[in-house]
C-alpha cells in the first residue's frame, strides 16, 4: 500500500497549535505545560525530564485572553452525555437551530468532540474551512445568526483520523476559546452590556475526559451557565449519567437539567407509542426526582430526525407537527428558564 500525502491546506486557512509533546517523549507524557511535567511516573527515563522539572510554572497567561474573548458571549452551555450514541450532538444541533430561529438572537456552536466531530455534518457544514483574519479565526456560518467551530474544519479531509494525546486536544480547545472571533467583526453595543453572542453551545465528547477538564478549566474565570445532560431511558445509560452528575458537582458546574432522548417511538400513522428502550428503573424523570435535579423533558424517536441530521437540516422547521418537534421546543423553553435562574 502506498501512503498518499494529504492535500495541502488552503492559504489563509487556520491551523491548530503544534503538539505540546516532544517527539522523543514516552507514551503517557503529560505534556510540557502540565503541572506534572517532569514529575509523573511516565517521565522517568525521559531525556526531557530535567528540562520539564526546571521549566517555570505559573498561572496560564492565556486565561485573561480567553476571559476577554468570552466577554461578548452571554450564556455558555455544555451539552454532555455519559455514553456515546444517546443523541447528544443531535440534540445540540436542534437546540442551536431553535435558538437561531429567533432572528434577534445570535447562537454559536463549539464542537470539542475532537476525535468524533459530527456537528459539521448535522448543521450542513461539511467541507468548510476556517480562515484567519486580523481579529482571529472566523467560524463557519450556517445562517446569519448561527455559527460553528469544529476541528473538522482544520482537517485536510473529512475522513482523516484524529490520533491525538490529551495535551494536544487541550491545546486545540484553548486555541478555539482564545482565537475564534465569534463576534465575526460585529461592533459591541454602546451600552454596558457587551453581549454579541446570546448562546454558546459546547458539544462535548461522551464521558468525562481531557476535553471536559479543559473546557471547564479555561472557562472558569469567564463563567459557565451550566450543563445539559443527555440520556436514554434505560438503566445502563442512567448509570453513566450519575458519573456526569458527579463530575459536575466536583468541578462546580451547575446542572441545568437532564433530557431523556429516544423516549419511545410514536407511530406517524396511528400515533401509538412503543417503548424501544424500556425505562426499567423509571427513566430520567425518576433519576431527577431522586437527585433533586430539573427534568427538562423527553424526546420520542422519529426516524426523520436521522434524515435531517444527514441532510444538515433543522428537524423542527421541516416537521413542526411531529411530537418530537413539540418536545424539542418545550425542552428548549425549559433550558432558557433554567439559565435565567443562574
Encode pLDDT of 84-101 as tens digits. Answer: 999 999 999 999 999 998
Q: What is the DSSP string of 210-269?
A: HHHHHHHHHTTTT---EEEEEE-SSHHHHHHHHHHHHHHHHTT--EEEEEE-S--EE-TT
Q: Which residues pair with 298 in a beta bridge?
A: 260
Residues in the chain with pLDDT values less than 70: 1-25, 27, 32-35, 54-58, 185-194, 342
Please check whether residue 167 is in contact with residue 20, taking contact to mean a CB–CB distance below 8 angstroms.
Answer: yes
φ, ψ (nearest 5 deg) of residue 236: -60, -30
* pLDDT at position 33: 63
CA distance 70 to 143: 21
- The kind and range of the H/E element at 168 are helix 166-179
Please check whether residue 159 is in contact with residue 121, taking contact to mean a CB–CB distance below 8 angstroms.
Answer: no
* pLDDT at position 10: 46
pTM for the whole structure: 0.82
Encode pLDDT of 3-54 as tens digits. Answer: 434 444 444 445 554 445 566 667 677 776 666 777 778 788 888 777 777 6
Question: Of 243, 298, 308, which Cα lies nearest the Cα of 276?
Answer: 298
State the helix-helix crossing angle for 166-179 and 210-218, rounded to 10 degrees: 30
Kindly report the CATH class assigned to 63-341. Answer: alpha beta
Please check whether residue 67 is in contact with residue 216, taking contact to mean a CB–CB distance below 8 angstroms.
Answer: no
Please check whether residue 261 is in contact with residue 86, taking contact to mean a CB–CB distance below 8 angstroms.
Answer: yes
CA 26 remoteness from chain centre: 30
* Per-domain residue ranges of the chain: 63-341
C-alpha cell at 254: 451547575
For the chain, the residue count is: 342
CB atoms within 10 A of CB 218: 21
Tell me the torsion sign for CA atoms 30, 31, 37, 41. Answer: positive
Contacts of 319 (CB under 8 A, 6+ apart): 302, 304, 308, 325
Amino acid at each position: 500500500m502506498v501512503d498518499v500525502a494529504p492535500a495541502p491546506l488552503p492559504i489563509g486557512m487556520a491551523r491548530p497549535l503544534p503538539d505540546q509533546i516532544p517527539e522523543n517523549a514516552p507514551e503517557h507524557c503529560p505534556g510540557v505545560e502540565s503541572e506534572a511535567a517532569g514529575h509523573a511516573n511516565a517521565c522517568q527515563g525521559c531525556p526531557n525530564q530535567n528540562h520539564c522539572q526546571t521549566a517555570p510554572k505559573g498561572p496560564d497567561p492565556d486565561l485573561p485572553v480567553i476571559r476577554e474573548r468570552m466577554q461578548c458571549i452571554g450564556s455558555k452551555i455544555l451539552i454532555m452525555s455519559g455514553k456515546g450514541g444517546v443523541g447528544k450532538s443531535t440534540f445540540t444541533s436542534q437546540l442551536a437551530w431553535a435558538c437561531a430561529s429567533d432572528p434577534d438572537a445570535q447562537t454559536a456552536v463549539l464542537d470539542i468532540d475532537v476525535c468524533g466531530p459530527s456537528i459539521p455534518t448535522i448543521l450542513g457544514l461539511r467541507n468548510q474551512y476556517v480562515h484567519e483574519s486580523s481579529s482571529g479565526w472566523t467560524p463557519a456560518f450556517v445562517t446569519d445568526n448561527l455559527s460553528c467551530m469544529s476541528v473538522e474544519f482544520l482537517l485536510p479531509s473529512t475522513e482523516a483520523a484524529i490520533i491525538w494525546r490529551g495535551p494536544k486536544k487541550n491545546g486545540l480547545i484553548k486555541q478555539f476559546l482564545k482565537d475564534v472571533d465569534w463576534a465575526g467583526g460585529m461592533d459591541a453595543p454602546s451600552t454596558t452590556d457587551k453581549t454579541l453572542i446570546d448562546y454558546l453551545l459546547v458539544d462535548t465528547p461522551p464521558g468525562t475526559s481531557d476535553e471536559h477538564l479543559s473546557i471547564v478549566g479555561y472557562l472558569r474565570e469567564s463563567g459557565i451557565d451550566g450543563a445539559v445532560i443527555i440520556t436514554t431511558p434505560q438503566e445502563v445509560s442512567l448509570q453513566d449519567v450519575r458519573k456526569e452528575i458527579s463530575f459536575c458537582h466536583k468541578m462546580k458546574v451547575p446542572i441545568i437539567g437532564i433530557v431523556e432522548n429516544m423516549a419511545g417511538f410514536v407511530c406517524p400513522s396511528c400515533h401509538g407509542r412503543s417503548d424501544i428502550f424500556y425505562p426499567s428503573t423509571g427513566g430520567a424523570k425518576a433519576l431527577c426526582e431522586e437527585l433533586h435535579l430539573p427534568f427538562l423533558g423527553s424526546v420520542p424517536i422519529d426516524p426523520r430526525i436521522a434524515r435531517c441530521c444527514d441532510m444538515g437540516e433543522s428537524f423542527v422547521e421541516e416537521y413542526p407537527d411531529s411530537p418530537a418537534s413539540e418536545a424539542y421546543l418545550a425542552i428548549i423553553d425549559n433550558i432558557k428558564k433554567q439559565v435565567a435562574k443562574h
